[in-house]
Structure 1
């Protein structure tokens, strides 16, 4: 549990979100390839999966398994989508600390933010072995998303172009065939940003962080993802302010209800030249 104590002084850093990369996101391993009953030795690249701790003022908040790339974007995006901070300016400094056990994303926030986190951790605390414990935990899991207000409209051709841009922009996936991607695409500009990770939630958090750092407004473009659509992804998309969310696989029922409540146009099962629209179809035209 976080303690309510004065915030530790932030390390001096002229640009707190500009930090060096750590770990190699791809590992080359030996493997035997079997084809037509014949085994051939060789090598292939696979994505690294690293325990990544997010701490605020030296107190642990969460540990995620993540691909060790774009970690400054991950730290900021996670902090925003999980409502740890309200804007990027609340993170006074960020250090990425590597150890044998993994990576720590060490962030420094104002005292009031630390106190809010302390209260949140007390609300969510439960007995050992409990998954979601108590009414506060359940309410947090299905929290109401912010409403996305955008008058932007898109065509079916825009959906196809966004999907093509996502596929062509996934350099890490081409190398490993084992990571998810989240991309932001805008008419007239094309692919604005793309981030990849072994976790679909992490990929989206990294994208949110990248867009926040660049000052990009998400209300004029498409969020495009390689995964199925779960409620957590829709909640994060609503924090981002994306009016249209496109995914290659199907959504869950709760994700559809959440997208409806958030004012998000949810496009899913988008592949092979076809897609399904589940909510707010008025933003799309032929």
Structure 2
């Protein structure tokens, strides 16, 4: 089995009273402790693959680095009980780290602290600068190909995928994880590591469209976000605020397109 899965024995029961022993792969999920500049910052539950990509994408989503910053120096260690990923931020991002740590550690039982935490939860977003050239034909092509880029989900039925798709609908890169946020962070981190831009394409996610995923897309300057399931209202509002076109409930037979600034695909 791959590092992302392990096998467990089950008893398969049928309505007619039948029973048989089967071995089934299960997706791995382990704690991942992320440290910056020697200080603990967060613990995620994630599939233990593509850890450096995960930290790169997570750091961008947390606004500890920007689109223009250089890649982080990351060391990944498997402790047996989980994974520790140690990242070093550039000196000019030290204030951003201190600010985020202060808000994450603040006591929300205090009225003023609670207000500050709410403001941190819904922070202003930059505008999306990139433009997608993809049309509906490209999106339907990517939907048809996505299954071929989900080996972990094919084996376990328990993993989300995030894919970088070019303007013609060809999937250029994909990442999987038990968490939809982790899968997108891994994809964004891998693209940063490769020095790859969206090149007129889009991101395709095998999940619903939450506001966190919208924010990750905007911070990565993704020009179009396509998700298999529906958005929340907050996700749609945040996307409109940043000028991010959405395609949701994307299925092989139909999809819903929404853009605040431009006509549908």
TM-score under structure 2 length normalisation: 0.91
1:89 to 48, 55, 70: 70
Deviation, structure 1 residue 58: 1.4
Deviation, structure 1 residue 101: 2.4
1:237 aligns with 2:210: no
Q: Is the 8 A contact 2:132 2:223 kept in 1?
A: yes
Aligned to 1:125: 105
Deviation, structure 1 residue 281: 7.3
Q: Is the 8 A contact 1:90 1:110 kept in 2?
A: no
Which stretch shifts more, 139-148 or 220-229? 139-148
Report Cα offsets for 1:119-144 as digits up to 9, x if no partner: 332234333889x9522211221122
RMSD of Structure 2 on Structure 1 (CA): 2.2
Report Cα offsets for 1:135-182 as digits up to 9, x if no partner: 221122112222112343322111101212222211111011100000
Which stretch shifts more, 239-248 or 229-238? 239-248
Deviation, structure 1 residue 284: 4.5
Q: Give the Cα separation in 2 of the matches to 1:171 and 1:160.
A: 20
2:3 to 2, 11, 24: 24
Segments of 4+ moved more than 2 angstroms? 109-116, 123-130, 149-154, 278-285
Q: Give the Cα separation in 2 of the matches to 1:283 and 1:239.
A: 23
Deviation, structure 1 residue 75: 0.9
> Mind listing any 5+ residue stretches in structure 1 that lack a counterpart?
1-22
In structure 2, relative to structure 1, the CA distance for the partners of 1:151 and 1:88 (3 Å cut) is closer
Q: Is the 8 A contact 1:56 1:114 kept in 2?
A: no
In structure 2, relative to structure 1, the CA distance for the partners of 1:161 and 1:230 (3 Å cut) is same
Aligned to 1:275: 255
Report Cα offsets for 1:63-90 as digits up to 9, x if no partner: 1000000111001111112111124525
Deviation, structure 1 residue 219: 5.1
Report Cα offsets for 1:244-265 as digits up to 9, x if no partner: 1111111000000011111111
Match of 1:134, SS state, is helix
Q: Is the 8 A contact 1:54 1:105 kept in 2?
A: yes
Q: Is the 8 A contact 2:134 2:200 kept in 1?
A: no
1:61 aligns with 2:41: yes
TM-score under structure 1 length normalisation: 0.85
Deviation, structure 1 residue 47: 0.5
Q: Is the 8 A contact 1:46 1:178 kept in 2?
A: yes
Residue correspondence of structure 1 range 1-286 to structure 2 within 5 A: 24-36=3-15, 37-86=17-66, 87=68, 89=70, 91=72, 93-127=73-107, 134-188=114-168, 190-218=170-198, 220-280=200-260, 282=262, 284-285=264-265
